[in-house]
Homo-oligomer: A and B are copies of this chain.
Amino acid sequence: MKKYIEIVDQIDTSTVYAQLSHPHSGGICVFVGAVREFTAQQEVVGLEFETYEKMALKEMEKIADKAIDKWNLQKVVIKHAVGMKNVEEPVVIVGASSAHRSECFEACRFLIDTLKETVPIWKKELFKDKTVWVSAHP
């Protein structure tokens, strides 16, 4: 399998290298996004993610295909978690493997940047005294 694309309840970081490893790949680059304790000086209790899963998977497939095509990748991983996540928990993992390191670095950055722009997933920040849908308002 070339692409590992999933919406999951928990991100499992332990499988990513086995999934990205390939005899033609000299480089593997992985990015993990996790819950930060503070946003703009306010203490975050946790994040809650929801998704339009059917469409999210389609958009993630498109991103993976574009990256494979552009950087000639051997393997791609894109996984996003949904539900309540606490501080330090991983919420997203993306990765790519390629013959040389430049390609997997550029591809990995593209995967996370594009996921944030186009994949229908929504994040609510939970503070002690309020909740905020991230980026909802200008």
Contacts and interface: CB of A to CB of B under 8 A. Distances in A.
The oligomer's copy count stands at: 2
A121 interface: no
A13 B22 contact: no
B99 A31 contact: no
A138 interface: no
The majority secondary structure among interface residues of chain A is mixed
Interface in A1-57: 13-14, 17, 21-38
A13 B12 CA distance: 13
A88 interface: yes
A29 B107 CA distance: 13
Contact of A105 (B25, B27, B87, B109): B109
Given A38-B24, A101-B112, A109-B105, A32 B17 contact: yes
A120 interface: no
